[in-house]
Structure 1
Amino acid sequence: MKLQSNATFWVASCAFVLVFMTSGTPISLFNLYRVENGLTNADLGVVSLAYFISAAVALLMFGRLSNHIGRKPMALIAIGCCALSCILLMLMTDVTLLFAARLLQGFACGVATSSIGAYAVDAGEHQPKWLVAAVASTSPMVGIPLGAISSGALVTWGPYPKITIFALVLTLLLVCLALLFNCRETINRQPGALASLRPSLHLPTGKTFIFVATAGVVISTWSAGGFYQAFGPSIVAEQLAMDSAIVAAIAFSSIMGLTPFGSYLSGRLSPRRAVQSGMALFCVAVMSITLALQQGGLVLFIVASLSVGIAQGLASTACIKLLLQDEPQHYRAGLLSTVYIISYSGAVLPAFGASIAANWFSVFTVWCGYAVLGVGAAAIALMATVLVRRSRQAEVVGS
């Protein structure tokens, strides 16, 4: 018996979050792998790079494939890759298995951001528009912290932390697989599957300034998240004088923790106002984080980081809502792929530069560089919202 559209929406949304929860679970275990399995910082750097490259390749090559073979098969592939990665991580003894697991997780995340995101959008026709946009834009920010905090808690208090968390996540993935098999397909399959593997980006027609605003929003917020992922444990140890896996996980997750709340608030505002409010809050939060790191203030750091999550939810949900508005169904997967390629680039490219800079500069100095990048990208997003309004006013006058 096939599930109805509303049920399919919720299953697809949960699958989207679960993929990123799976990718977040190893993060809190990296220090444990260094101690017990002899991994080096260089090993972990290569593993993280493999994850991001795999996600980018999946977005570039497989982002539009669901238009041709269906949303559901691609969702099943993503969940299956996550399940296999959990099995590899339960057997983890050296960097080779961790490398393979992160490759699978990166590929699953790339597939999920286009195919499962589009699946949820397709099935969400009867859901509030802000909710659908929130699922498409913030699921990674919900899933990754869930995984990191869960594994961090088990490292601190649970038995067999390197096995238990992956056994639990694997169970959830298998349940999700069973539910997905009973979901309805939301798209009419089209020929040309092989041709769709040719890397390409889809840019929305007539929405140039909205797209520029979106790019500014995701670069500013994802770059900050990339800093936390790369330097979260170092922040806690060096700047905040704390040595705890669960505190490190909370610090890493705080920047994404209130993203869903920001998405909810976005539904209460006009899209332009939501973007402007979000980016203004982001700039204030970035300055507060800088002050907190300089003074070693854990409470201010957590509060400011949570504010970044609210800002991200506000602005990114509004941008995705505007981009998807009136967009034909067969363009949705490609458009989401393009947005997430920019998002991943906003995280990966600064992280690559920061990993080199960290050999000569302190974590605080590296953060200052991120702060300049984030505020600059936020300023571009703010200017783009002004240009959107002016262009629309010009259209009204011209007509």
Structure 2
Amino acid sequence: MRLATGSAFVIAATAFILVFATAGAPISLFNSYRLDDGLSNADLGLVSLGYFFSAATALIVFGRLSNVVGRKPMALTALLCAVASCCLLLNMQHILVLFAARVLQGFACGIATGSIGAYVVDTSRGRPAWLVAAITSTSPMIGISSGAIVSGALVTWAPMPRMLIFILLIAILSICLLLFLFSPESIKARADVHARALASLRPRLYFPAERKWAFLTLAGVVVATWSLGAFYQAFGPSIVAEQLGTNSPILAALAFSSVMILTPMGGYLTSGLTPRRAVLLGMLLYIGAALMILVSLDNGWLPAFLCASLLVGIAQGAATTACFNVLLAGVTVEQRAGLLSSVFVISYAGAVVPGLVASLAASSFSVFQICVGYVVLGVAAAIAAMLTSFRLEPITACDRAAEVA
């Protein structure tokens, strides 16, 4: 039995989000690990750095492999890594276990980006362009935030607070694995598969020259937004505990997720704007929201903090969807995995480099002081994105025809 292409698109989009939901699930438990297992803020920063570094490594090394061996084998690999990470977290009692699980989740997310993300585009014929761009650009944020919220709710109100979320994820991931087995392959097999597979493992990023301004604009956008998201991922529970005065797991999950949960809305609200205007609007909104986050934390205003964080998500969705619309237009099937991998390598670099500095600084500076550093970086990157957005190329009918082909 083979599923139809339309069903494969839904399965791929769901699996893409689900892999990142697995990566978001432990975040609501970070404060529990900190209080019950003796982990420090520096430990949590290091663990998050391991996740981002392994994701970036997977993107660089395995990002183009699905062009050769097929989307399905790489997608299955990503899902299996996610399952293995959940199995480790069922018995989390030491930082090394958490670190190993986060590294596996990073590999799962990195491999999924180049394979499942490309498979979403491969099976998207007949779907609105803005929807495809929104899925490929915002699935990480949707997945991580939804995983954190569900996990936080289960930790707060369900039995087995440190295990139930991972049991459920193992079951759902296993269903996705089975569905992928019956999905059609979108890459045609070639005779020289072994030689081409080895060649694809050589680290190489794909940057179409005709889209250089879109890449530069997107680089500014993702450094601004992903770096702030990485701060929330590493220090979200500590923010809630130290700056906002509560140890509630569900509030920690909501605080962390608020910065990314509304990213799809940003893409939808600005779908009628030109890419240039969408980026300008998104980055102006980001700057205002980021400054409001600092004011809220300094004064302990939880509602204002959550509202400002939600606006960051909308800003991110508006700007990244616009850039993805430009980048994906006219890209062939063989180029999609490399392009998406290159984009997300930039994204993870925007999280890894500040995260390394933050993890080293966590022993000497408060969470609020670290947040100030992240906001300064984010505002500078957002301004750079606005400046380069004036050179964004328009999307032509020929680009759309080439993309469909």
- The TM-score normalised by the length of structure 1 is 0.94
The equivalent residue for 2:114 is 114
Aligned equivalents of 1:39, 1:292: Cα separation in 2: 27
Say which is worse superposed, 103-112 or 187-196, in terms of deviation: 187-196
1:221 aligns with 2:237: no
In structure 2, do the counterparts of structure 1 residues 203 and 261 end up closer, same or farther at CA, with 3 Å as the change threshold? same
Correspondence 1:318-357 to 2 at 5 A: 318-357=322-361
Say which is worse superposed, 353-362 or 290-299, in terms of deviation: 353-362
1:362 Cα deviation after fit: 2.5
In structure 2, do the counterparts of structure 1 residues 226 and 384 end up closer, same or farther at CA, with 3 Å as the change threshold? same
Give CA deviations for 1:188-243 in whole Å, capped at 9, x if unaligned. Answer: 23430011001111111211111100101111100110111122122112222222
Aligned equivalents of 1:251, 1:261: Cα separation in 2: 18
The equivalent residue for 1:361 is 365
1:10 aligns with 2:10: yes
1:389 Cα deviation after fit: 6.2
1:299 aligns with 2:300: no
Aligned equivalents of 1:305, 1:244: Cα separation in 2: 18
The equivalent residue for 2:176 is 176
Aligned equivalents of 1:298, 1:103: Cα separation in 2: 32
Determine if contact 2:50/2:102 at 8 Å carries over to the other structure.
yes
Determine if contact 2:220/2:384 at 8 Å carries over to the other structure.
yes
1:103 aligns with 2:108: no
Determine if contact 1:20/1:139 at 8 Å carries over to the other structure.
yes
Aligned equivalents of 2:240, 2:184: Cα separation in 1: 45
The equivalent residue for 1:153 is 153
Correspondence 1:1-399 to 2 at 5 A: 1-190=1-190, 191=193, 192-388=196-392
Unaligned runs of 5+ in 2: 397-405
In structure 2, do the counterparts of structure 1 residues 35 and 301 end up closer, same or farther at CA, with 3 Å as the change threshold? closer
Aligned equivalents of 1:298, 1:102: Cα separation in 2: 29
Determine if contact 2:221/2:382 at 8 Å carries over to the other structure.
yes
Aligned equivalents of 1:7, 1:294: Cα separation in 2: 48
Say which is worse superposed, 94-103 or 349-358, in terms of deviation: 94-103
Matched residues, number: 391
Determine if contact 1:72/1:185 at 8 Å carries over to the other structure.
yes
The equivalent residue for 1:396 is none
Amino acid corresponding to residue 284 of structure 1 in structure 2: G
Unaligned runs of 5+ in 1: 393-399
Aligned equivalents of 1:284, 1:259: Cα separation in 2: 16
Give CA deviations for 1:236-262 in whole Å, capped at 9, x if unaligned. Answer: 122222221111111000001111111
Identity %: 56
Determine if contact 1:6/1:126 at 8 Å carries over to the other structure.
no
* Structure 1 residue runs of 4 or more that deviate by more than 3 Å after TM superposition: 34-46
Say which is worse superposed, 312-321 or 87-96, in terms of deviation: 87-96
Determine if contact 1:240/1:293 at 8 Å carries over to the other structure.
yes
Aligned equivalents of 1:133, 1:189: Cα separation in 2: 27
Aligned equivalents of 2:42, 2:369: Cα separation in 1: 21
Q: CA RMSD in A?
A: 1.7
Aligned equivalents of 1:30, 1:285: Cα separation in 2: 25
Aligned equivalents of 2:47, 2:319: Cα separation in 1: 31
Determine if contact 1:113/1:337 at 8 Å carries over to the other structure.
yes
Amino acid corresponding to residue 94 of structure 1 in structure 2: H
1:267 Cα deviation after fit: 1.8
